[in-house]
A and B are shown apart, each in its own frame.
Chain A
Amino acid sequence: MNVIEFNNLTKYYGDVKGCKNVDFNVKEGEIFGFIGPNGAGKSTTIRTMLSLIYPTSGSVTIFGKDAIKDGPEIRKEIGYLPSEIFYYDKMKVIDLLKYSASFYDKDCDERIYELAEIMELDLERKIQDLSYGNKKKVGIVQGLLHSPKLLILDEPTSGLDPLMQQKFFHLISEENKKGVTVLFSSHILSEVQQLCNRVAIIKDGEIISIQDIKALKDDTYKKFTFKGENLNNGKFNIEGVTQLKESNDIVSFFFKGDVNSIVKIIKDLNLTDITVEEPTLEEIFMHYYE
C-alpha cells in the first residue's frame, strides 16, 4: 500500500520554480530518502504534504486522502520535524510538549517522558535557553510524541552530535519496525545510506532518479588522488575510471569497480601520498548534476 502518492505535484512561487512534476510513491513501512542539494525543492515538496503551501497544480495523497482537503485529518497521523526549529521561546520544554500533545486525541504523557529520556532532554528548561542541538531534540520528541504512522523528517540531523545522531537513527529504526513509514530528507548521502531503503533524487525542483539504496551502494564511486613522480602516463585510463585528471606529479579520478585493479597499477609507482575519499553527494550524482 502506498502511504504517500505524489501526482505531478508542481509549485511555482510567482515565476520561481519550487518543484515541478514530482511524481512518486512511498510504500507503507518504508524509510524513504529524499535527497538533493540545498534549494533543490525538498522543503517545498514536504511543505505541500503538510498543506503549509498550496500546489500550483497536481496533488499529494497521504493515507489515500488529499493532503490539502483532508489536511487536519491526515495530520493526526503525521509527525513532522522541520529543518529549522523554532518554538515559543518563553515556554518551558515540558509545557511546549504538552501543548503539542493537546492537539492529538490521545494521552501522550508517558511517551514524552520516555522520548525525553532517550534523547537526554531536560524538560524543565526554557526553550530560549536551549542550544541549537537541544532545540532539535525538542523537535524530535515533539514529532514522535503522538506515535504517528508517518514521519516526515526534513534534514533532521543537523545540529546533533554524532552520538545523538546514532540514538536518533536507532529511534527511527525502532519506529520503523513498528510499521511507521518515514520520509527522510537530507543532503548528506551517508545518513541516507545508513537508514533508507529507497531514495529519490531531486534537482532543480524535479525528481531525476529513484533508486534502491542497495543498488546505489554497489554503484558507489570512490575518489582517488595520487601524488608522486611521473604519473602522467595514462596508466589509470582503465574501465571504471571517470573524470580522470592527470599531470606529472598528481592524478585524480573517480573509480567504480574492483579496487584491486587500482592497487595493481599503483604498486609499481613511486608515490608520495594517497587519498581515497567518499565522494560528496554532488560528486556521486555527477551525471545527474552536470
Chain B
Amino acid sequence: MSIFIFEMKGNIKSILIWASAVPFFLFLYMAFFPSLAASPDSFNSIMEEFPAEVMALMGINPDLPMMTIMGYFSLTMSFVMIPVAIQASNYGFNILSVEERELTADFLLTKPISRRKIYVSKFSAAFLSLTITNAAIWIASLLAFALYKGNEDPEMFKVIVFLSSIALFQLFFLTVGMLISVMVKKVPSVISFSMALGFGMFIVSSLGKMLSSEFLDVLSPYNHFDPGFMLIDGTYDLIPTIISIIIITTSLFASYFLYLRRNIASL
C-alpha cells in the first residue's frame, strides 16, 4: 500500500464530512432565493438600512443586485469559501506535521523511501481530497442554478469561470499551511492553526473592503478570487491571480526544501 493510498484512507472521514456539509450549506442557502425573489420590495427596504461598509463587508456589490440569482450566489459563495479555506488549511497544516505530532516519524521516515516521495504522495492525496469537495461544490452550484433561476437567464459561463477559481483558492491555503507547518518547530493543534489562517484571511479581506485598503486586498485570497468581481466580469482579476499563483508556487517549493532538510527530533 503506497503512502498515497494510506493518506487517502486516512482522509475518508474528513472528505465525506466536508464534501457533503459545504455543498449542503450552499444548496440550502440557495434554496431561499425563490422566496426572496418573490418579494423584492420588502428585502430591498431592509438592505437600504445598512451602511455601505456593512454591505461591502457582506460582499454585496451594487453592480450585482441581491435580487438576481447571480447576486445572491455571489453572497452565498463569499460565505461558502470560509469552510473551503478551513478544509484546505487543515490538510496544509496537517500533512507534513502529523508524523512528528503523533510521533510516527520514526516509523515512516525510516522506511526505504525518500522524503521527496513522501512529500509528493501526501500533497497529491491532500489535493485530491480537496478536489472532491470542489467537485461537490460545482455540482451543488449548477444544480441550484438549474432549480432556482426562475425566469432569469444567468450567464452561466461567468459562474463556470468563478467555480474554476476554487482550485487555486484551495491550493493557496493548502500550500501556505504546509509552509507554515515546516517553518514552526511544532504544530500542536491543527484546527487552531487552520481556523486562524482560514478565518484570519477572511477578516483581512473584509477589513480590506471596509477600509478600501489595497494592501489588505492584495494579501487575502478571498479578494484574489472575489465572487463579486468574477461573477460580474466573467474573468479572473489578473494581478491578484498572479499574486496568488506566486504565493502558491513559492510556498510549495519552500515547504518542499524545508521538509527535505528538516531534523526530526527524538522525543
Contact = CB atoms under 8 A, between A and B. Distances in A.
Contacts of A229: none
A75 B112 contact: yes
Chain A interface residue bracket vs B: 20 to 34
A172 B114 CA distance: 28
A288 interface: no
A86 B109 contact: no
B264 interface: yes
B106 A72 contact: no
B113 A103 contact: yes
A102 to B, nearest CB: 5
Given A87-B104, A88-B104, A102-B1, A52 B110 contact: yes
A201 B98 CA distance: 34
Contacts of B151: none
B104 A13 contact: no
Interface string B171-205: 00000000000000000000000000000000000
B32 interface: no
Contacts, number: 68
Given A50-B109, A102-B2, A104-B112, A84 B103 contact: yes
Given A53-B264, A102-B2, A72 B104 contact: no
B261 A54 contact: yes
B112 A76 contact: yes
A103 B1 CA distance: 8
B109 A52 contact: yes
A130 B113 CA distance: 28
Nearest to B108: A103
Interface in A100-155: 100, 102-104, 142
B12 to A, nearest CB: 12
B105 interface: yes
Contacts of B114: 71-72
A50 B261 CA distance: 13
Interface residues of B, number: 23
Contact of B104 (A47, A51, A76, A86): A86
A100 B109 contact: no
A84 B110 contact: no
Nearest to B264: A52
A99 interface: yes
A93 interface: no
Interface string B117-133: 10000000000000000
A99 B6 contact: yes
A22 interface: no
A86 B102 contact: yes
B265 interface: yes
**7 tightest CB-CB pairs across the interface, nearest first?**
A86-B103, A82-B106, A103-B111, A76-B112, A75-B112, A53-B263, A52-B264
Given A71-B114, A74-B112, A86-B102, 18 more contacts: A13-B263, A43-B266, A47-B266, A50-B109, A52-B105, A53-B263, A53-B265, A72-B112, A76-B112, A80-B110, A83-B267, A86-B103, A86-B104, A86-B106, A89-B102, A99-B1, A100-B107, A104-B112
Interface of B: 1-2, 6, 10, 102-107, 109-114, 117, 261, 263-267
16 contacts: A52-B105, A52-B109, A52-B264, A53-B264, A72-B113, A72-B114, A73-B112, A75-B112, A75-B113, A80-B110, A82-B106, A84-B267, A86-B102, A87-B107, A88-B10, A88-B102
